[in-house]
Amino acid sequence: MDSQTAVSPHSAQDSSMTGRLKPDSLGVLGILFFVLSAQAPLTGIAGAVPIAVAIGNGAGTPAAYLAAGLVVLLFSIGFVAMGRHVVDAGAFYMYIGKGLGRSTGSGSAGVALLAYCAVQAAMYGLYGATVSGLVEHYADVHVAWWVCTLVTMAVVQVLGAAGIEMGAKVLAVFVLAEFSILTVFALVTFFKGGGPEGLGFGDSFSPHAALQGAPGVALMFAVASMIGFEATAIYGEEAREPRKTVPRATYLAVAVITGFFAFTSWMLISAHGASKATAQAGKALASGDATSFVFAPISDRFGGWTGNVLPVLLATSLFAGILAFHNSANRYLFSLGREGLLPHRLTSLNRRHSPWAAGIVQTVIAVALVMPFAVLGKDPVLTLFSWFSGVAVLGIMLLYFLTSVSVVVFFRRSRADTRPWNTLVAPVLGALGIAGGIWLIIENFTTLIGGDQATAVWLQLTVPAVLVLGLVAARLTRHRQRSEPSGNPQDQGADS
């Protein structure tokens, strides 16, 4: 296989494609906003940091974010190298398929769909509960969380169909708002010399601080907070000069995300005082409102008005993440339809070159995942949000690992890129780090989902089960295509 065969098959068949996503629609900043939206920064800070501090390594939590960022950076080097040879909206499954065979790649597509749809459904649970609380607080009217969620699903569907540029503009407003207040708080705290015990750099970043308590738990939540940066490759087909734009957006996203979470968590701990942060985080968790660990010092710094603004920003943060994952998932569905692994109808585009049919299917999946929790009267935060977040993190981490292995195999076989650091050393180191992360997630999965052991086991099993089902379905589909004389020529000789 040479470097030309490594390019997505669609690039050579544009004239025959019934569906092509709109090219030249996104630049580096546009892609970056989609990635940062998927991160839901305020959700990640207000939701994960208090738990990591309370039951992880306490004041050493910022060091866990730096360690997670290093692992993600190593993964990104091989990820970007592969991205120069594969440009496709199906990103993960195309990358994995090039090195480990098309059937394995197709099986991984099922895992990607599971992960993106699961994390979106999880966000819908927390979003519905948050918005319901805001409506009751300001309008004194009780609206069920699932009603807020269903209305938002309709809005997301409309925005997704309106085109990628519209989605980027909407997300830019929300992302800038939540990033701004957290970054300003962190910068003001830093330049004022920190909290009651000073900046406490050594208390958060020294080896002793990093390894105290349960560093594995903190690292697990740090990795979970960074899920979503890989969406840079998903938008490669719609990017301007994708071979330049996607690598720049990827490295910029990793740098911004790592720096943001490490710096902001450090300043939050400094604001409480390193010696008191663990107790304060534990107190916030015990109260049932973990966000108070984050919101309280911001209110102390800027005044009581932030107490009204921050819950609203939390809702918009979740909305931005929901829209970003909607766009990621429907592009996977679109790409699978184009490959013949799902009904061809999913490749239908509207006048704005948006995959409207795939978007509708994605919204239907969201309804199917969310509504059982509403019908059964389950708590949307303790069950829907917690359970599906765990499944999504485990699924994405598995995809990271398979992609790293595929990068090594692909470049050893094709010799399309002979740089040892980019195509061998960094991907292998990244794979080892990711494997360690997967072990930590499995070891602490019950903590991650906030459930019981039996529930944790069943949820974990969904990820390998979907991988196997996807692999089997892909083999059966291609066997049928080979036996049909009119089959698509590109499907002949499926696995390589």
Contacts of 461 (CB under 8 A, 6+ apart): none
Tokens of 431: 């794979």
Angle, helices 426-443 vs 61-83, to 10°: value is 130
pLDDT tens for residues 206-222?
A: 999 998 888 888 887 88
Mean pLDDT across the stretch 202-206?
Answer: 93
Query: Is 15 exposed, middle or buried (CB count within 10 Å of its CB: 0-12, 13-18, 19+)?
Result: exposed
Taking residue 458's Cβ as centre, other Cβ atoms within 10 Å add up to 11
Average pLDDT score over residue span 394-419? 90
* Residue 6 and residue 218 in contact, taking contact as beta carbons nearer than 8 Å: no
Q: What is the pTM of this model?
A: 0.82
Amino acid 279 reads A
> Tokens at residue 148, please?
């807020």
Neighbours of 70 (CB within 10 A): 15
- Return the closest-CA partner of residue 294 out of 279, 280, 315: 280
The mean per-residue pLDDT over the stretch 218-238 comes to 73
Q: CB-hemisphere CA count at 13 Å for 260?
A: 24
Q: What share of the chain is helix, strand, coil (3-state, %, to 5)?
A: 80, 0, 20
CA distance 178 to 308: 13
- 252 pLDDT tier (thresholds 50, 70, 90): confident
- What's the confidence (pLDDT) of residue 170? 65
Phi then psi for residue 198, to 5 deg, are: 85, -165
Distance from C-alpha of 274 to C-alpha of 271, rounded to nearest angstrom: 8
Q: What is the pLDDT of residue 233?
A: 65
**pLDDT higher than threshold 70 for residue 108:** yes
Could you give the residue ranges of the DSSP H alpha helices within 140-214? Answer: 145-161, 164-191, 201-205, 207-211
CA-angle at 257, arms to 252 and 263, nearest 5°: 120
Angle at CA of residue 110, ends 453 and 67, nearest 5°: 60
User: How many C-beta atoms surround the C-beta of residue 18 within 10 A?
Assistant: 11
Q: Residue 418 — pLDDT band, cuts 50, 70, 90?
A: confident
Mean pLDDT of all residues in 165-191: 79
